[in-house]
Amino acid sequence: MRKKIVAGNWKMNKNLEEGHQLTSEVVNMVKDEVTSDVQVVLCTPFVHLNSISKLLAGSKNVMLGAQNCSEHASGAYTGETSVSMLKSVGTQFVIIGHSERREYFGETDALFAKKVDAVLAAGMTPIYCCGEKLEVREANDHIKLVTAQVSEALFHLSADALQKVVIAYEPVWAIGTGKTASSAQAQEMHAEIRAHLAGKYGKNVAEEITIQYGGSVKPDNAVEIFAQPDVDGGLIGGASLKSRDFVDIVKAMK
């Protein structure tokens, strides 16, 4: 049975004190209010990881994630952070391929494939992001683009390795815009991704892959989105910065 995972991507928000407060609130709320077996991941800025790891040490199902990593193991790469560094401070998940890395930093699917390999080799879980811009969807090329993103970054993996990857479908036009894909649109793309995986690896493998939805998920739309049969959780942006909103989204994941 595939895992249900809700991850919060803080992006470049929260100073250390604010991050500690948010983490403590989320941990306490999850402990008191979340009775399902959903896994919760906090993807914090790099400078927070070490200290927040300590805050999560006693938490049963709140885990630590990073927002990016280098594809290099070590060396003269000023400003970069390796997977061994992330692993050494307790990181368990790493976001790879977020649309903002594609848009602002020119990162490519070929690079993401190397980063996915690095994360897996370190024994952590990559959350691989894919998704289309508005003009691609309006041209009805969204399925072609997203399945190509999946192929180029993940299809070099063995079936065993693929099953250690989480995929996050994030329509770029719905990230931070207040627009949200309808539950039917989300289900359509998640089903297409799963079918694409099945075409390469077989149905049994595809059924084990967790596919999250991301894109302006809020407490008032999370229940409907998460109710879709191929939606296995969420990668939450803005709403993850408010503990009440984020935990209410987690609670929507049955």
What amino acid positions are annotated as catalytic residues?
98, 170
Tell whether residue 9 is among the known ligand binding residues.
yes
79 annotated to a ligand binding site:
no
C-beta separation of 210 from 5 below 8 A: yes
No. of H helices and E strands in the chain?
12, 8
- The closest of 109, 189, 206 to 149, measured between CA atoms, is 109
Q: Is the Cβ–Cβ distance between 47 and 61 less than 8 Å?
A: no
Q: Other CB atoms closer than 10 Å to residue 254's CB: what's the count? A: 9
CB within 8 Å of 32: residues ≥ 6 apart? none
3-state class (DSSP) for residue 253? coil
67 and 43 in contact (C-beta within 8 Å)?
yes
Is residue 215 within 8 Å of 131, Cβ to Cβ?
Answer: yes
90 is in an annotated binding site: no
3-state helix, strand, coil in the chain (%, to 5): 50, 15, 35
Is residue 11 part of an annotated ligand binding site?
Answer: yes
SS3 label, residue 27 = helix
CB 72 within 8 A of CB 50: no
What is the 8-class DSSP label of residue 241?
Answer: G
Is 176 labelled a binding residue?
yes
Is 65 annotated in some ligand binding site?
no
Was 216 annotated as part of a binding site? yes
The Cα 250–Cα 82 span in angstroms is 30
Residues annotated within a binding site for substrate = 9-11, 176, 216, 237-238
Residues annotated within a binding site = 9-11, 176, 216, 237-238
